[in-house]
Amino acid sequence: MSKRIVLIFTIVFLTYLQVYSEGLFSEPEIGFYGAYGLSFQAANFQKLPGVSSCCPNYSGGFGSAFSLGPLLKFNISPNVFLDTRILYHISSGLMNKS
Q: What's the pLDDT tens digit per position in 49-77?
A: 777 776 667 777 888 999 999 998 877 77
pTM above 0.75, yes or no: no
Q: What is the pLDDT of residues 20-35, one digit of tens each?
A: 666 666 677 889 999 9
How long, in residues, is the chain?
A: 98
Instruction: Determine the Cα–Cα distance for residues 98 and 40; give it in Å rounded to an integer.
Output: 16
Give residue 33's identity as a one-letter amino acid code: Y
Please, which pLDDT band fits residue 6 given cuts at 50, 70 and 90? Answer: confident
**Structural domain boundaries in the chain:** 27-97
Cβ atoms 67, 34 nearer than 8 A: yes
Instruction: Please give the torsion angle defined by the CA atoms of residues 15, 76, 73 and 87, in that order, rounded to the nearest 10 degrees.
Output: -70
Torsion sign (Cα): 41, 47, 51, 53 = positive
